Chains A and B, each alone.
Chain A
Amino acid sequence: MKETIRHKGRLAQTGIYLGKFLRMFIYQNDWKVLPMGAIIAAVVTFVVGANLFVTQEGTLTGSFALVCVCIWNGVFNSIQVVCRERDIVKREHRAGLHMSSYIAAHMIYQLLLCLAQTAITLLICRLTGVHIPERGVITPWGIVDLGITLLLVTYASDMLALMVSCMVRTTTAAMTVMPFLLIFQLVFSGSFFSLEGFAAKLTNLTISHWGLDGVCAIGRYNEQPMVMLWNTIFKFKDVEVLGKKPLLDLIVMAENNGYRDQFLLWSGAQNQNAAYAATAENLLRHWGVLALMAAVFAVVAVTALKFIDRDKR
């Protein structure tokens, strides 16, 4: 028996693969996800950006749209990255590749990609005139808090898709699963669809739920005016009661005396949501859950890939 020869360990292998992925970023046209993300962000902020972080309704809708952009970006980044080269990975595993190194390299590479996408999304928000909060909840800067939250949402989605990519064997299967992932995130975000019981508990498993809550907390949802009640009253302004129009009178009185904004703030104060509390503890919890999700997805990805040798010829 010859003496034991040491080969590249996990850390060194991670470096080798990170270098490979970075080169492939240029050669494989992976860079195209950046302008694509910018276009999606521009379209979304153009539609919902005006009232984002201005009113409660605008914040909820806009935050959800922003989170959806991040989820979309993250999922598209990595849904095919492993399954499209599964046979190559199998060959390299046979030659001594550690799956943990391979996934670690992907995690670092994808983190860089997500960072770039988040920066682009924030830049688009700035350019399209979104009122990004000046004051942060954890850091002194709102844009930093928002950036970290969007990054975590993008990254957790990226890891979710990476996990799927490790579990399926073909790109067709990955693209078949992807719509289900996105629909699940959409339906179980916990804000737009009325969910009760078990279905409501499922929202705790979605990236969209924790991301949306985080963005609303940064936007200080609970401190914002609520316009829905005022708008509803406005809709019914011509309703007559005993020959009079009491709602119209109320509106005229509020407008003439400058009470409208006070009314909006008052109605917002009645519509508090503890999940959107702008406290460091609350936001940290959301960040923690998103980071934990990303970590769990990565662990499952490694575990799934460890069985790659069982693929039939």
Chain B
Amino acid sequence: MRINELFSLSSLGFFWLPWVLLSWGLWGLSRKLRWEKRGLAWVPGARFFALGRSVEMPGDGAVYGVLEILFLVTRVLDLGAMSERVSVAMSLAMLVLLVTQLVYGIRLFLRLTLVFGVRRRWVWLWLLASWLPVCILAFGKRYQPREDLKLTEEWEAGTAPAPLAAAGRREEPGEEGLSVDLNERSVRDFGKKRYLLKDISLDIPNGSLVLLLGGSGSGKTTFINAVIGYEKADAKVTLNGADIYRDYDQVKYRIGFVPQQNLVRGNDTVIRTVTDAAQLRLPAELRRRERNTRVAEVMDLLGLSAGGEGLVAKKSGGQLRRISIAMELVTDPELFVLDEPDSGLDGVIAREIFEKLRAIADEGKIVIVITHTPDRVVDLFDKVIVLARDSGRVGRLAFYGTPQEAREFFGKDTMEGIVMSVNRKEEGGDGLGDECIERYARLTAAAQEGAAVS
């Protein structure tokens, strides 16, 4: 056992003294970076977690913290090792940990240089003696964190929704169509509750083709995942009277979701791809003839019959999208959701796909579509849902109504203009998210009151 080495002169010089100096430096930094608990600077592991949070790199900070603890543990085990073999193993582990720590340490320190606006070459100083640049940044009066980076704002994004009135909540969900009553959808992110969506209530009647609009990060995909029950929210979602969350295992077969990417195996024929999808999704008792008829119908509807025996990999982008749609449509879903079905397609083919979707909706289905180029096909839609991020960076309902009503509500001629109006100014938008959310909430409240009076 060499445990006494921990308290030797060399240990003091090469281990304990740098450790204390680094802790002291972090303690100084904690004031400038406004840590909630400054004492954490002296706690192994926790101090780097706190540092990571304060410079908006919680993941890297947490990893570095864990590595620091593991390194300390292996160091003690190494010194206390009863056999040379264990000692060698511990030394090897320490080497691996050191290399990993080095990588994460550089990442953290590079972020510190950005926060304090110093040159990146300071990282060499960090590599030589990590405590030295930390102490300089901590106690040098000329070094102050840059306020313009808005790191705190980014870290706080979604943690506290803006105090806005909620869009009208319904007393009772409708029996027909899709009814969404979403209170909130949140996640836990390194101990912090982060709201992704809040207060979204709407009813979509059967036979509607609905456009889902919103800027980047407004929560469109999160909303879709919550609606189809794939990622559960604090919500009640019913589809023609069936509770999607409660009866998910059954209701999921009544929902079709076409993801953004063409997630289809390239090395199978088109007909077999759609047939296999039908076998997986359609009721087991359906006869083979009926199933094949359904497959043929869908292939016909989407214009895939001609090259049905060809390999999926040989098909064009538009055909791939249609195959992906066919795989879901073959079950004749009551709710059909498509995430950017026109992505990467030219205008003519995109229009063709949306016309097919219009035809599907006309059969009494609900079709919800996310698209970033809505104006070329907006005439086909019955309704528009507009999601916007409030000033707390939480996705909310900014509008739900017909395309014409949307144009009047936002005072814009185009759907893309509507998206720009609710986007934040930093993103090149008009920054009217909060205003539109509140205005729409008032509008729905007034409509509900009117309905109650009448």
Contacts and interface: CB of A to CB of B under 8 A. Distances in A.
A288 interface: no
A13 B263 CA distance: 19
B280 A24 contact: no
Contact of B265 (A1, A13, A24): A24
A307 to B, nearest CB: 14
Which secondary structure dominates chain B's binding surface? mixed
Interface stretch (B145-153, B245-253, B300-308): B245-253
Interface string A75-102: 0000000000101101110111100000
Given A94-B230, A313-B221, A8 B241 contact: no
B279 A23 contact: no
Contacts of A16: 276, 279-280
A28 interface: yes
A127 B283 CA distance: 52
B252 A96 contact: yes
A87 B262 CA distance: 10
B169 interface: no
Interface string B264-295: 11011100100011011111110000000000
A2 interface: yes
Contact of B280 (A8, A87, A197): A8
A1 B268 contact: no
Contacts of A244: none
Given A6-B283, A6-B285, A7-B283, A23 B247 contact: no
B142 interface: no
A20 B259 contact: no
B78 to A, nearest CB: 17
Contacts, number: 72
Interface string A8-28: 110011001001100110011
Interface in A17-42: 19-20, 23-24, 27-28
Contacts of A1: 241-242, 247
A273 to B, nearest CB: 26
B257 interface: yes
Q: How large is the interface on B (under 10, 10 to 19, 20 to 34, 35 or more residues)?
A: 20 to 34
Query: Which of A7, A12, A85, A94 counts the most chain B CB atoms within 10 A?
Result: A7
Contact of A23 (B85, B263, B268, B328): B268
Interface string B230-244: 100000000001100
B445 interface: no
Interface in A293-313: 309, 313
Given A7-B253, A16-B276, A96-B252, A28 B267 contact: yes
Contact of A91 (B252, B263, B285): B263
Contacts of B268: 20, 23-24, 27
A232 interface: no
Interface string B201-222: 0000000000000000000010
Given A1-B242, A5-B253, A27-B311, A13 B280 contact: yes
Contacts of B11: none
A9 B276 CA distance: 14
A4 interface: yes
Contacts of A87: 261, 263
Interface in B405-423: none
Nearest to B221: A313
A20 B276 contact: yes
B240 to A, nearest CB: 8
Contacts of A95: 252, 277, 280-281, 328
Contacts of A24: 265, 267-268
B253 A23 contact: no
Given A1-B241, A5-B250, A27-B311, A20 B280 contact: no
A236 to B, nearest CB: 36
27 contacts: A5-B253, A7-B253, A7-B283, A7-B284, A16-B276, A16-B280, A19-B276, A23-B267, A23-B272, A24-B267, A24-B268, A27-B267, A85-B265, A87-B263, A88-B264, A91-B259, A91-B263, A94-B230, A94-B257, A95-B252, A95-B277, A95-B280, A95-B281, A95-B328, A96-B253, A96-B280, A96-B281
